[in-house]
């Protein structure tokens, strides 16, 4: 499941993508939601 809210990410993980950009992925910190979040940060 994927979360579409903009929330604080629990246990964020930085992933370097093959195109050289960095993505953070983690789990939504909201109650009753354990959707996955991923965001490109650079």
CA 17 – CA 26 distance, rounded (Å): 15
Q: Site map for Zn ion, 1-40, x if CB under 5 A?
A: --x-x----------------------x-x--x-x-----
* Cβ partners under 8 Å of residue 40, min gap 6: 21, 22, 23
Q: What is the DSSP letter of 29?
A: -
Q: Give the nearer residue to Zn ion in terms of CB position, either 13 or 21.
A: 13
Q: How far is the CB of 11 from Zn ion (least distance, A)?
A: 14
Query: Interface with Zn ion by CB under 5 A: which residues?
Result: 3, 5, 28, 30, 33, 35
């Amino acid at each position: 499941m994927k979360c579409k809210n903009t929330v604080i990410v629990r246990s964020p993980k930085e992933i370097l993508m093959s195109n050289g950009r960095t993505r953070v992925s983690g789990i939504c910190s909201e109650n009753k939601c354990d959707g996955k979040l991923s965001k490109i940060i650079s």
